[in-house]
Amino acid sequence: MNQELVRKAIEYAVSLCDMYNNRIVITINGSGGMGNSTEIRPYCNEGFSFDPRLNAIIVTRTEGKTFIDTDSIKTIHCYKFKL
């Protein structure tokens, strides 16, 4: 996926998290395996950022970091989490 588009999608997801008190779930679908996807839940203290030097999204969780190559990304979805 285009780096500029990924950066804008991440910025938009961050603004949605701020607007809805971090009650957003971000799903990133890649091209690996069988529909390889990663869910990011900011309300569970999971963070994410775009690093242009690595051409990757960095997902930070309590158990460590995950790097997602932007070239493998097919879609980025944001969902509002309901209690």
What are the structural domain ranges in the chain?
3-80
Mean pLDDT for 10-35 is: 78
- How many Å apart are CA 33 and CA 21, to the nearest integer? 33
The residue whose two tokens read 């779930």 is 25
CATH architecture of 3-80: Roll (2.30)
The residue whose two tokens read 């961050």 is 14
- How many Å apart are CA 36 and CA 83, to the nearest integer? 26
pLDDT score of 32: 53
pLDDT score of 83: 61
pLDDT score of 35: 58
For residue 34, pLDDT over 70 is answered with no
Strands 37-40 and 24-30: antiparallel
Helix or strand run (H / E) with residue 47: strand 47-51
For residue 37, pLDDT over 50 is answered with yes
